[in-house]
C-alpha cells in the first residue's frame, strides 16, 4: 500500500507518457494486493487511514521518497525482485497467503521486468543516467536487509535462501547494466527490521498525513 | 494536367466524404483537412495529458482505498488515451515530439476546463460526472468522423470514458447521500464545475471559427450549441437523481422545443481562460514543461541504450556473415 502510494505520486510527472501508464499500472497492482492483505486482517480503510505511523509495519524501503526516476527504479528493482521471490515461495505452499501469492506472482513478474528493463537503460544509457542510477542504488542499499528478516506468521519461508536468490538475481541484472551491487551496511535507518516494528523514517509521517487527512476529517463517513 | 489531377483528387475526396466513407492515412486529402485534423487531434491528446493533473491532485488524498484505486485507474486511462490520440495524429505525418513542443510553447491548446482547480474531493466526482459527461457528448459523434484513425481511437476512448462518468456519478451520489458536510461538498463542486462544463462545447455557433468547415468534412457531426443542449437535457434529470441542484435559476423545460432552456454563459470568462488567464493555466503548463524537462535525461538514456543495442545487433549479424 505504501509503495503504491509513492508510485501514485508520479501521476502527471513521469518522463514519458508510456511511464505514466506503467507506473500507475504497477501502483494499481500493488494496491490490489494490499487491499486483499488488509482485508484478511480487518477493515481495509480502518487499517489504512486510522493507524498512526508507529502502527504501520511496512518496510522502510517502500516508504522512501520517489527522488528522481533512477531512485524510483532502484527502489522498484530491489523490491520487485524480492516480492517476486517471496510470492513464488508462498504460492507454492498451502498457507493462507497462497491464493493471493498465486495471483500476485504474475503481477510481480511484470514489475520485475519493468524495473530490469529500466535498470539496463539507465545503467547502460548515458554518463548522466549511469551516475544517477549508481547514486540511487547506493542510497537505497541500506534498506534492503530488512526484506529478509523473518516475519511472524509466514512459515515455510527459508529467508536465507531467499536472500541468496535475490542477491544473485539483482546482481545479474546490475552486471548486464554494467553496474555492480553496492557495498555497505544493510541495516536500514534503525536496526534491520525496524519498519516491521513500527520504527520508520521521517518522511513517512508526512506521507501518512497527506494520505489520511480527508478520511480522518470526516469520522465515520462512507465514501 | 496537374490542375486536372488536383481537381479530380479533390472531387473524389469530396465524394468519398459525402458517401460517409472513411479517409485513411495513405489516401489523398486536402492540406487544410490534414491541418485541421492535426489541430483537433493534438488538442484532444493534450487535453488528456493536462487533464491528468487536476485529478492526480487527489490520488494521494483519496478517502478510501477503493476510491483511490478507481482514481488511479482513471488517470492511467487518460495517459493511455493521450497515447492513442498522439499515435492517430502521427498517421497524418506529424510526431508526438513535435506536438508536445507545440503544447509546451503554447502554440497548441488543450481543453479550457482543465484550467480550473480541484479544491475538494467532490471535485473528482464532479469532473467524472460533468466534465467526462460533456466530453462523451462531444466525442461519441467523433466515432463516426470521416478520418478513420481518429474515429477508431474514439471508439475505444468513449467506452472507457463512459465508465469513468458512471464512477463520477456514483462518487457524487455517495457524497450527496452521506453526511451533511459531504452533501455540501458535493453541491459546492457541482456549483463550480457546471458552467465550465457547458463551456467545453466551445463558442456559440455564430462565433465558432472552424465549425462550418469541420461539419462539411464530417470531422464534426453536430454544432456546438446542439451538443450543449443535448448535454443539458441529459444532465438535468441526473442532477435530480443525485439530489443536487444546478447553479442556474433559468433552467426549465420548454414544452415547445422539447428541450431545456438555460441561462446565459459567461463568454467573457470563456475567452479569458482560453487566452491563458484562467485560475490554473500557468501552473498546468509549467508542471507539464517541468515534467518533460526533468525527464529529458531518462529519454536520452533510453535512446542511447537503444542505439547501443542496435549497433551491437548489427555488428553481430555482420560477424555471422
Per DSSP, the residues of B259-282 read EEE-----HHHHHHIIIIISSSHH
pLDDT at B263: 97
pLDDT at A186: 87
- ipTM for the assembly: 0.96
Q: How far apart are CA B164 and CA B70, in angstroms?
A: 9
Average pLDDT over residues A6-17: 97
Alpha helices (runs of H) in B146-200, residue ranges in sequence order: 148-176, 180-199
pLDDT at A81: 98
Asked if residue B3 has pLDDT above 80, the reply is no
Tell me the chain B residues in contact with residue A1 when contact means C-beta distances shorter than 8 Å.
65
CB contact under 8 A, B65 and A122: no
Q: Are B231 and B248 in contact (CB under 8 A)?
A: no
Predicted model pTM? 0.95
Report the gap between the CA of B63 and the closest CA in chain A (Å). Answer: 5
Cα B119 versus chain centre, distance: 21
Report the gap between the CA of A45 and the closest CA in chain B (Å). Answer: 6
Q: How far apart are CA B68 and CA B71, in angstroms?
A: 5
pLDDT at B96: 96
Mean per-residue pLDDT over chain A, rounded? 95
Q: How far apart are CA B29 and CA B35, in angstroms?
A: 10
Which range among A115-124, A150-159, B25-34, B71-80 shows the weakest confidence by mean pLDDT? A150-159
List of E strands, chain B: 252-254, 259-261
> What confidence tier does B232 reach under pLDDT thresholds 50, 70, 90?
very high
Q: Half-sphere exposure of A170 toward its Cβ, with a 13 Å CA cutoff?
A: 26
> What confidence tier does A25 reach under pLDDT thresholds 50, 70, 90?
very high
Average pLDDT over residues A9-20: 97
Asked if residue A188 has pLDDT above 90, the reply is no
Q: Which residue of A has its CA nearest to B70?
A: A28
pLDDT at B121: 98
Tell me the chain A residues in contact with residue B60 when contact means C-beta distances shorter than 8 Å.
5, 8-9, 210-211
Q: How far apart are CA B38 and CA B89, in angstroms?
A: 6
pLDDT per residue as tens digits for the range B38-52: 999 999 999 999 999
- Left, alpha or beta for A178 (phi > 0: left; psi -120 to 50: alpha)? left
Average pLDDT over residues A120-135: 98
A13 vs B: CB within 8 A: yes
Q: What is the DSSP letter of B60?
A: G
pLDDT per residue as tens digits for the range B170-215: 999 999 999 999 999 999 999 999 999 999 999 999 988 888 889 9
Report the gap between the CA of A75 and the closest CA in chain B (Å). Answer: 16
Average pLDDT over residues A151-171: 93
Through-space distance between the first and last CA atoms of chain B, rounded to whole angstroms: 50
Average pLDDT over residues B73-97: 97
C-alpha cell at B53: 493533473
Give the strand pairing for B259-261 and B252-254: antiparallel
A162 vs B: CB within 8 A: no
Asked if residue A193 has pLDDT above 70, the reply is no
What lies within 8 Å, CB to CB, of B35 at 6+ separation is: none
Facing residues of B275 across strands?
Answer: none
pLDDT at B2: 59
C-alpha cell at B92: 497524418
What is the biggest distance separating any 2 CA atoms in chain A, rounded to whole angstroms?
53
Which range among A189-203, B81-95, B283-297 shows the weakest confidence by mean pLDDT? A189-203
Write the residue in B59, B79, B292 that is nearest to A21 by C-beta: B79
Average pLDDT over residues A117-140: 98
Q: Angle at CA B128, nearest 5°, toward B81 and B295? A: 40
Q: Which residue of A has its CA nearest to B125?
A: A223
Amino acid at each position: 500500500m505504501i509503495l503504491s502510494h509513492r508510485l501514485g505520486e508520479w501521476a502527471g510527472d513521469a518522463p514519458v507518457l508510456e511511464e505514466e501508464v506503467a507506473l500507475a499500472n504497477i501502483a494499481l497492482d500493488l494496491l490490489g494486493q494490499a487491499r486483499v492483505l488488509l482485508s484478511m486482517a480487518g477493515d481495509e480503510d480502518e487499517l489504512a487511514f486510522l493507524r498512526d505511523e508507529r502502527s504501520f509495519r511496512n518496510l522502510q524501503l517502500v516508504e522512501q521518497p520517489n527522488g528522481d526516476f533512477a531512485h524510483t527504479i532502484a527502489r522498484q528493482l530491489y523490491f520487485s525482485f524480492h516480492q517476486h521471490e517471496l510470492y513464488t515461495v508462498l504460492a507454492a505452499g498451502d498457507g493462507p497467503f497462497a491464493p493471493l501469492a498465486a495471483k500476485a506472482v504474475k503481477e510481480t513478474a511484470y514489475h520485475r521486468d519493468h524495473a530490469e528493463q529500466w535498470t539496463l537503460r539507465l545503467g547502460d544509457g548515458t554518463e548522466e543516467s549511469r551516475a544517477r542510477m549508481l547514486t540511487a542504488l547506493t542510497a537505497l542499499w541500506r534498506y534492503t536487509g530488512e526484506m529478509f528478516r523473518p516475519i511472524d506468521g509466514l512459515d515455510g519461508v527459508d529467508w536465507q535462501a531467499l536472500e541468496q536468490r535475490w542477491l544473485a538475481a539483482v546482481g545479474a541484472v546490475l552486471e548486464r547494466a554494467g553496474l555492480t551491487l553496492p557495498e555497505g551496511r544493510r541495516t536500514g535507518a534503525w536496526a534491520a527490521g525496524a519498519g516491521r516494528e513500527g520504527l520508520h523514517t521521517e518522511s513517512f509521517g508526512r506521507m501518512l498525513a497527506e494520505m489520511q487527512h480527508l478520511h480522518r476529517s470526516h469520522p465515520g463517513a462512507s465514501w | 494536367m496537374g490542375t486536372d489531377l488536383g481537381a479530380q483528387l479533390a472531387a473524389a475526396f469530396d465524394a468519398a466524404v459525402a458517401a460517409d466513407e472513411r479517409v485513411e492515412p495513405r489516401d489523398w486529402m486536402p492540406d487544410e483537412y490534414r491541418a485541421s485534423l492535426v489541430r483537433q487531434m493534438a488538442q484532444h491528446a493534450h487535453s488528456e495529458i493536462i487533464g491528468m493533473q487536476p485529478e492526480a491532485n487527489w490520488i494521494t488524498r483519496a478517502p478510501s482505498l477503493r476510491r483511490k484505486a478507481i482514481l488511479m485507474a482513471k488517470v492511467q486511462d487518460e495517459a493511455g488515451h493521450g497515447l492513442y490520440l498522439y499515435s492517430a495524429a502521427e498517421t497524418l505525418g506529424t510526431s508526438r515530439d513535435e506536438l508536445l513542443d507545440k503544447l509546451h510553447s503554447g502554440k497548441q491548446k488543450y481543453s479550457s476546463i482543465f484550467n480550473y482547480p480541484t479544491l475538494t474531493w467532490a471535485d473528482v466526482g464532479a469532473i467524472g460526472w460533468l466534465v467526462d459527461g460533456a466530453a462523451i457528448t462531444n466525442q461519441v459523434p467523433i466515432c463516426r468522423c470521416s478520418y478513420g484513425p481518429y474515429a477508431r481511437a474514439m471508439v475505444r476512448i468513449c467506452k472507457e470514458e463512459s465508465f469513468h462518468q458512471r464512477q463520477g456519478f456514483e462518487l457524487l451520489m455517495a457524497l450527496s447521500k452521506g453526511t451533511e458536510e459531504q452533501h455540501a461538498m458535493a453541491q459546492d463542486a457541482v456549483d463550480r464545475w457546471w458552467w465550465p462544463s457547458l463551456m467545453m462545447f466551445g463558442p456559440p455557433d455564430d462565433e465558432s471559427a472552424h465549425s462550418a468547415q469541420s461539419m462539411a468534412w464530417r470531422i464534426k457531426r453536430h454544432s456546438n450549441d446542439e451538443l450543449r443542449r443535448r448535454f443539458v437535457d441529459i444532465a438535468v434529470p441526473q442532477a435530480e437523481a443525485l439530489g443536487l441542484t444546478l447553479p442556474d435559476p433559468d433552467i426549465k423545460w420548454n414544452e415547445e422545443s422539447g428541450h431545456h432552456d438555460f441561462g446565459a454563459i459567461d463568454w467573457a470568462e470563456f475567452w479569458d481562460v482560453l487566452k491563458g488567464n484562467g485560475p490554473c493555466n500557468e501552473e498546468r503548463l509549467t508542471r507539464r514543461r517541468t515534467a518533460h524537462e526533468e525527464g529529458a535525461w531518462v529519454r536520452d538514456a533510453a535512446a542511447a541504450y537503444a542505439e547501443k543495442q542496435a549497433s551491437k545487433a548489427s555488428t553481430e549479424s555482420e560477424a555471422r556473415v
